[in-house]
Structure 1
Amino acid sequence: MISVSFPRDIKSVFDVVVKDQNGQWERWYVRVSEFKYNPKQPYEEIIVQTEDTVATTTMLDILNKAKANILVTGTIGTGKTIVGNNFLHISTVQDKSLIFQIKFSAQSKAKGIQEVLEGRLAHRRSKQIGPPVGIQGIVFIDDMKTPTPEIYFAQPPFGLIRQCDTQFGVYDHKKLTFIHLTGTVFVAAQ
């Protein structure tokens, strides 16, 4: 067990991270890499790291290693999608993962989302889908709050994602059987 004393000159626990096994604290700004402009890089792909983006990306990496489903929240324009995409393009994540993106819209339907899941993931056994063995599946859901509620305020796309999270699978609409979803986590930007 590590015994860590919190430095007195730091205002918030969110300003620092435990640096190593000895319990030393480090401010996030130390991990921010220097920005180098590349004129050949498209404007929309330019990412200037800040303390917040480094902290969020680090937390995404830690939670991903723990195989936890992740929901990144924030107001419009705070860079949730950019940070999520940046995290997914880290080489350590890309090398060990089958990554695919689902972009929600007002027209998103649960059936379409389920078809994407079943189409991209391999059928391991008759009632089990997932990425190839030894690979982690990461489903990145962008604009998660956009599906339009139905007449009685139900939102089936959310129900499908909740079912994947809590029951670890989906129902086959043709055979009326349950298909288990294995080795896959969801990263969503709201």
Structure 2
Amino acid sequence: LVDMLLKDACDLNPNLTHLLIWVQVSCLFAGVWGIGGALNTASKELFDTFYKDIWRGTWKYWPDVLRGMKIEETINLQQTLVPTVDTAKYFHVLEMHIRHKIPILLVGPSGTGKSFYVQKMLMHELDLNKFSPAFLTFTTSISANLTQELIISKLVKRRRGVYGPEKGKLSVIFIDDMNMPAKEVYGAQPPIELLRQYFDHGHWYDLKDTS
């Protein structure tokens, strides 16, 4: 988060004026999510008071962001998203990670709207002329090989061993139910290990010739 916020600040202000202030507020904003994001509701209220006392600056309140938002008219009521403080917060953080090409993991109890938020963001908030969204749902029986094949099937082959989105677009892949793959004897989950390999090394081995 600190890296993304500072990059935005530098892009908007190449002269780097007020850089110290940007560093401070970037660290504070990252602290809110890095520490406060893992707390329950009661603890968040205590943390909110404590954190605001650390630094008294000019903050933009999330309810102010909602004033310009409108509810989209849809035929299916189940697909209607009513803007709230929480949706504004989550959409903002999701948009930052997508724009800066940083993977993000949403964690929370079942049925709290995580998948709906992401699907709404990818299909209705992103410019589909610039982004190519794709969706994948893990099951208990999914394997690492099948995971790799499914993800590659959503990309375009550029040349031998190189895949990517359509030219001029950025691919955004949403994987739902990441906890579902069955564990092996010693607790490993191969599909998740495959994702970790890509995040760590930026590539996968070809399943046919291991190149």
Q: TM-score, normalised by structure 2?
A: 0.69
Give the structure 2 partner of residue 167 of structure 1.
201
State the 1:92 CA deviation. 3.5
2:158–2:164 CA contact under 8 A, matched in 1: yes
Deviations 1:57-77 (A, max 9, x none): 111101111110111111222
Q: Pick the structure with more helix per residue.
A: 2
Give the structure 2 partner of residue 3 of structure 1.
21
User: Where do residues 33-44 of structure 1 align in structure 2 (5 Å cutoff)?
Assistant: 36=71, 38=73, 41-44=75-78
Q: 2:120 aligns with which of 86, 89, 95?
A: 86
- SS of corresponding position for 1:90: helix
State the 1:110 CA deviation. 1.3
Give the structure 1 partner of residue 79 of structure 2.
45
Deviations 1:100-123 (A, max 9, x none): 100112122111111112212112
Q: Distance in 1 between matches of 2:168 and 2:49?
A: 42
Deviations 1:145-188 (A, max 9, x none): 111112332211101111111111111111211xxxxxxxxxxx
2:156 is equivalent to residue 122 of structure 1: yes
Q: TM-score, normalised by structure 1?
A: 0.76
Post-superposition, which runs of at least 4 consecutive aligned residues in structure 1 deviate over 6 A? none
Q: Distance in 2 between matches of 1:167 and 1:37?
A: 41
The amino acid that maps onto 2:208 is: K
- SS of corresponding position for 1:169: coil
Q: 1:98 aligns with which of 124, 128, 132?
A: 132
Runs of 5+ unmatched residues, structure 2: 1-18, 26-47
User: Where do residues 68-79 of structure 1 align in structure 2 (5 Å cutoff)?
Assistant: 68-79=102-113
Give the structure 2 partner of residue 180 of structure 1.
none
Paired residues in the alignment total 165
Q: Distance in 1 between matches of 2:51 and 2:194?
A: 35
User: Where do residues 133-172 of structure 1 align in structure 2 (5 Å cutoff)?
Assistant: 133-172=167-206
Q: Distance in 2 between matches of 1:46 and 1:132?
A: 30
Q: Distance in 2 between matches of 1:92 and 1:12?
A: 35
Q: Distance in 2 between matches of 1:85 and 1:51?
A: 18
Q: Distance in 1 between matches of 2:21 and 2:83?
A: 31
Runs of 5+ unmatched residues, structure 1: 15-22, 178-190
Give the structure 1 partner of residue 142 of structure 2.
108
The amino acid that maps onto 1:49 is: P
- SS of corresponding position for 1:62: helix
- SS of corresponding position for 1:94: coil
Q: Percent identity?
A: 28
